[in-house]
């Protein structure tokens, strides 16, 4: 490839700076496809933005300012649930892209492969959820969403180990804990399509947490540190929330996240 050929860093940066959700999904899937086909040079010749571009709506609120979501079966409550899930998946696209683009030069091709695969999954999840909202007569952006999800990326932009510890191994692992109960509630409402979407997301998120755990343990091994002890140290320094039970131990174990990690620190 010549110096004028497209690079993986430029493709990732362009996707991060695409505000329209549908266009961001297309850009993400295209760059992953191009990467897998060898069309993008393994060259990190541009920096990642401090913050990705997002659309004007939804209105972003601090988590404590978000209206409480009803757990009942009202139409408004169901739309609010699917909107919240869509927002999580939308931000997750950028979290995975930033992981690959910010740290890939030092971490290598397998790391980039893994987190671009995560980004492609998140784009697919968002597309499914956006379509779900539209089938209910709503759309992504119709309701406010919380602005706390990107904070973890900003807080760990300087340290790949901290990023892995917080984003896949806490935030995504939390999805493994809470999705099964949401799935059961959706099934009880007779929403077959919604249940299929959540089942697919849960299966994929196990792989996402596993990718994060794998690379975290590799990095800990390179310095001879206990992964579990290092994880706890990094969480104390970089994670501002609480690691809350109940835990989906079987899904966490399938992702390589044994109880040795989170036993004793749960609040």
Report domain extents, the chain: 1-41+60-149, 152-267
Q: Which ranges of the chain have pLDDT less than 70?
A: 1-4, 69-72, 266-267
pTM of the model: 0.95
93 near 119, Cβ under 8 Å? Answer: yes
Left if phi > 0, otherwise alpha if psi is -120 to 50, otherwise beta: which for 38?
A: left
| pLDDT at position 241 | 84
* Model confidence pLDDT, tens digit, residues 19-33: 999 999 999 999 999
The H or E element containing residue 145 is strand 145-146
Is domain 1-41+60-149 given the CATH code 1.20.120 in the classification? yes
Q: 3-class SS at 197?
A: helix
- What are the residue ranges of helices labelled H in the chain? 8-16, 21-36, 75-107, 109-135, 151-155, 160-166, 173-188, 192-222, 227-238, 249-254, 259-262
Residue-level pLDDT at 107: 98
pLDDT at 1: 45
- Contacts by 98-102 with C-beta closer than 8 Å and gap 24+? 98/12, 98/16, 98/48, 98/52, 98/153, 99/163, 99/167, 100/8, 100/12, 101/8, 101/9, 101/12, 101/13, 101/16, 101/44, 101/48, 102/48, 102/157, 102/160, 102/163
Alpha-carbon dihedral angle through residues 40, 29, 58, 54, given to the nearest 10 degrees = 10
Q: What is the pLDDT of residues 109-166, one digit of tens each?
A: 999 999 999 999 999 999 999 999 999 999 999 999 988 889 999 999 999 999 999 9
């Amino acid at each position: 490839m010549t110096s004028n050929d497209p690079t993986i860093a430029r493709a990732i940066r362009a996707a991060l700076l695409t505000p329209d959700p549908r266009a961001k999904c297309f850009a993400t899937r295209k760059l992953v496809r191009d990467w897998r086909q060898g069309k993008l040079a393994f060259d990190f010749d541009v920096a990642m933005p401090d913050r990705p571009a997002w659309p004007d709506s939804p209105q972003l609120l601090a988590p404590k300012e978000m209206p409480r979501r009803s757990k009942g079966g009202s139409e408004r409550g169901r739309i609010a649930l699917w909107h919240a899930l869509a927002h999580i998946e939308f931000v997750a696209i950028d979290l995975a892209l930033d992981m690959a683009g910010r740290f890939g030069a030092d971490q290598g091709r397998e790391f980039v492969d893994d987190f671009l695969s995560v980004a492609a999954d998140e784009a697919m999840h968002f597309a499914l959820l956006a379509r779900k909202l539209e089938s209910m007569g709503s759309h992504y952006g119709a309701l406010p969403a919380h602005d706390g999800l990107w904070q973890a990326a900003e807080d760990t932009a300087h340290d790949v180990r901290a990023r892995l510890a917080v984003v896949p191994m806490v935030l995504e692992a939390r999805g493994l804990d809470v999705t099964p109960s949401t799935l059961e509630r959706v099934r009880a409402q007779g929403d077959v399509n919604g249940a299929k979407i959540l089942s697919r997301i849960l299966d994929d998120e196990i792989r996402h947490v596993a990718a994060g755990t794998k690379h975290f343990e590799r990095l800990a091994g390179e310095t001879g540190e206990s992964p579990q002890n290092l994880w706890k140290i990094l969480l104390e320094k970089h994670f501002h929330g609480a690691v809350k039970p109940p835990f989906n131990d079987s899904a966490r174990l399938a992702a390589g996240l044994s109880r040795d990690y989170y036993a004793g620190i749960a609040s």
